[in-house]
Copies of this chain bind each other. A is one copy, B any other.
Amino acid sequence: MTAIKESSTRNFNKGVALTSCPVTFVMEKIGGYWKPIIIYHLMSGPKRYSELKRAIPQITEKMLIQHLKQLQADDIVNRVAQAVVPPVVTYSLTKPGEDLFTVLDSMVDWAVKNGSV
């Protein structure tokens, strides 16, 4: 076990840059491979866990819940579980989550204008 240097750039960034740069703040929330894809699928309405899984066949279950939990912690998605068997868990976008539409939309705009698809 090698101790991590207290003065490392990594540590410095964690404390300063991450919270002070709004763009990085957003990247923290919707960055990564799967998050925008999950959010996109929730934009067409609330979905069950299994519906999301079927909608995004390439994602592994681990990645799916992992990101759903993170999005939940970031107040981007809501989780509603019914105490029945088999379990029924529904995910939906929160208000902040829905507001991300503007962001994703501007991204799509740019992508379309600049050679994607």
Chain A residues with CB under 8 Å of chain B are: 9, 12-13, 16-17, 19-27, 31, 33, 36-37, 40, 58, 60, 75, 96, 99-100, 102-114, 116-117
Contact = CB atoms under 8 A, between A and B. Distances in A.
Count copies of this chain in the complex: 2
A19 B23 CA distance: 23
Contact of A33 (B24, B58, B111): B24
A116 B29 CA distance: 11
Interface of A is mostly: helix
Contacts of A27: 31, 33, 36, 107
Nearest to A18: B33
A33 B102 CA distance: 22
